[in-house]
Homo-oligomer: A and B are copies of this chain.
């Protein structure tokens, strides 16, 4: 089908090594360079990356494993990461594991089998056996958003603890004392960090609440709705609630709408992520947002770094700040 370097060699009368050298940025005599370029143009030559990959043992492909593509947080990170990777000549091979540990392990193996050069992963599972297979092959792995037990690789996180801490502080400043938390599953890294930030801020504010003010959802819309209902039923005196991820925020708003709770009249709310959703809520929701763009940029930077300098051995952990975006969902009761 396409032309090969042999064709270019024949066309130019040069040897294979010269063509290869040209293709890889080596030194080639000016007039030969011109000849080669003319031949490439004429024959529509394109390097066969498969053949190159066989020889170099590099595919120029990065694997990305995520829990849910239908999750705006994941989608934003991937779309940014893919963009930068492609600008650097790397293709992105995507695996969505539907928040299933088993599928996640399969995906990691699948990508290893496809011989990707490196891995970007937002872990679902708690353990890391499969990730170690990558490290054994000296292929870089960068974790995004969540840490994994037993894996001491590079990692880019949001300041989860800081996010809930700041949210509580905002509510406390507005005079709230009975503050509920819709938490995530405690075995998930981000969820326990956010939980901890909440507790810490409450303690620092001198507020001591019953554990029943913290209800664990499962990071899903349904779970958020269920948790909201439970909190509201058990604590009619609760004046504010903090929801600790985006899906649960949607769920909480559904429940709030469907059961006719007035925001912020009866209940103040701080949600999580997705500014557009927050704006579409009535009244506009106050939220904590994570820096998805920056997280992607940092993760790809680290990955490309490892890919280029095999030497750079220090493990990096980047923690990026979250941002409070005010709406009209907090009532001042001071």
Interface set of A (CB-CB < 8 Å, partner B): 1, 46, 48-51, 53-54, 57, 59-61, 68-70, 72, 75-76, 78-79, 82-83, 86, 91-96, 98, 107, 110-111, 113-115, 137, 221, 250, 253-254, 257-258, 276-277, 279-284
Contacts and interface: CB of A to CB of B under 8 A. Distances in A.
Contacts of A282: 253, 257, 282
B95 A86 contact: yes
B61 A69 contact: no
Contacts of A91: 93, 110-111, 114
Contacts of A279: 254, 257
B257 A49 contact: no
Contacts of A70: 72, 75-76, 79
A128 to B, nearest CB: 19
Contacts of A54: 48, 50-51, 54
Nearest to A283: B257
B113 A61 contact: no
A96 B113 contact: no
Contacts of A93: 61, 91-94
Contacts of A68: 79
A271 B66 CA distance: 29
Contacts of A111: 91
Contact of A113 (B49, B72, B82): B49
